[in-house]
Amino acid sequence: MAEDSESKSAGPVASVPRAGLVFDDRYLWHNTGLSLIEERHAFPFAEPVPHVSTPALVGRAKHLIDHYGISDRMLRIPASEADDEALRRYHSADYISRVHELGRTGGDAGQGAPMAAGGERIARLAAGGAMAAVDAVMNGTIGRAYALVRPPGHHAMADLGMGFCIFNNVVIAARHAQLRFGIRKVLILDWDVHHGNGTQAAFYEDSDVLFISLHQDDLYPVGWGGVRDMGEGAGTGFTVNIPLPPGTGWAGYLSAYERIVLPIAKQFAPELVFVSAGQDASVYDPLARMCLTTANYRQMARMMISVAEESCGGRLVVTQEGGYAAAYAPYCSAAVAEALVMSDAETPAIPEPYGPRATEQPAANRLGLDAGAALDAAVTAQRPYWRL
């Protein structure tokens, strides 16, 4: 399916030690306004309340990555704007035109996807940043990359922006990898606490892309990500949804990885691994009710590094999605970046702001009955397609 194949020259990347970082100051210009999700009127408060998807979240993550010396160990990868050809690999021409018009006026790209005038160029830069991360990894310039981009993308449908997302960055980057480098099998793990409905829709009938989503059950969008949503046609079995009950902590997530994510990922044997990394399953997040900590995000990243190393010479691209705890999510994102550069023998530098409670909370150590039942249901649903 390659239209400009460079896969023969990509080669193994296990000997390339450095990770890469895609970040552009213009990501911080993406203006979601002062409204709280669906509020359309001026706030009655004397002090305006910023939108929950604030530029500070990504900006603070970058600050921590710099402050703790992580970016010193990462190759900076410049981003450029995705062109119409790249966007059309998923999005409709009408939707691209609509976003272009909104780029002049500002407005909502669909359902809860606000942007100010000028937002189109930044959204294209986010998609282009994910593509640039793919280029660097597939060319062997680096082993793995973190695309710290904004706005996020995994909710964006072909013809509709949703959930703060304008263009679906990971879908566009995955198609770019297949078309430019001639690879076929792509794994996308989405650990954002909200279901990646746009990504699922893009690949629901596609057996070349394995989409795995861990998310809080029926949180957003309502009706998406059920355990029986497993793909259609040729794609049957290549969508793996793991909906978890509110309050699931590390014990539940670790069990999900050990019982479902890692076995299926390794059986699929991808040629490139993506992580849609939303750090909104954290203990502090205002839009969800999960209990993950900074260390847990580092651990999840390291597990996906191991999948990539075993399956495809280490080729891994992490793309930023959500995470809305203003003081905490940036630490979780920085821990993900840290995992990309550190060795197994190194002691993490990113601290745990939650303190001792991070490891003492019950959900970190005990698998709740509801979480256990949810995992059993997911295993049962996937057994016809995978060895579990």
CA–CA separation, 270 and 317 (whole Å)? 13
Q: Is residue 2 part of a domain?
A: no
Predicted pLDDT at 73:
95
CA–CA separation, 295 and 287 (whole Å)? 20
Catalytically active residues, by annotation: 155
Backbone angles phi, psi at 151, to 5 degrees: -75, 160
Residue 11, pLDDT > 80, answer no
Q: Is residue 255 part of a domain?
A: yes
Output the pTM of the full model: 0.94
Q: Give 120-173 pLDDT, tens digit per residue.
A: 999 999 999 999 999 999 999 999 999 999 999 999 999 999 999 999 999 999
Whole-Å CA distances, 111 to 2, 16, 38, 199, 371:
34, 42, 9, 16, 30
Q: Is residue 233 part of a domain?
A: yes
Residue ranges making up the domain that contains 339: 18-34+49-382
Contact between 271 and 184 (Cβ < 8 Å): yes
| Share above pLDDT 70 across residues of the chain, in percent, rounded to a whole number | 93
Predicted pLDDT at 40:
58
Q: First vs last Cα of the chain: how many Å apart?
A: 31
Q: Is residue 232 part of a domain?
A: yes
Residue 17, pLDDT > 60, answer no
Confidence of residue 37 (pLDDT cuts 50, 70, 90): low
Predicted pLDDT at 346:
93
Contact between 226 and 241 (Cβ < 8 Å): yes
Buried b (16+ CB within 10 A) or exposed e, 240-278: bbbbbbeebbbbbbbbbbebbbbbbbbebebbbbbbbbb
Q: Is residue 311 part of a domain?
A: yes
CA–CA separation, 147 and 129 (whole Å)? 6
Q: Is residue 305 part of a domain?
A: yes
Q: Which residues contact 250 (CB under 8 A, 6 or more apart)?
A: 291, 292, 293, 296, 299, 363, 364, 365
The count of structural domains within the chain is 1
Mean pLDDT for the chain? 93
Q: Is residue 367 part of a domain?
A: yes
Q: Is residue 12 part of a domain?
A: no
Confidence of residue 39 (pLDDT cuts 50, 70, 90): low
CA–CA separation, 133 and 14 (whole Å)? 16
Domain with residue 267: its CATH number is 3.40.800.20
Q: Give 278-301 pLDDT, tens digit per residue.
A: 999 999 999 999 999 999 999 999
The pairing of beta strand 114-115 with beta strand 272-277: unpaired
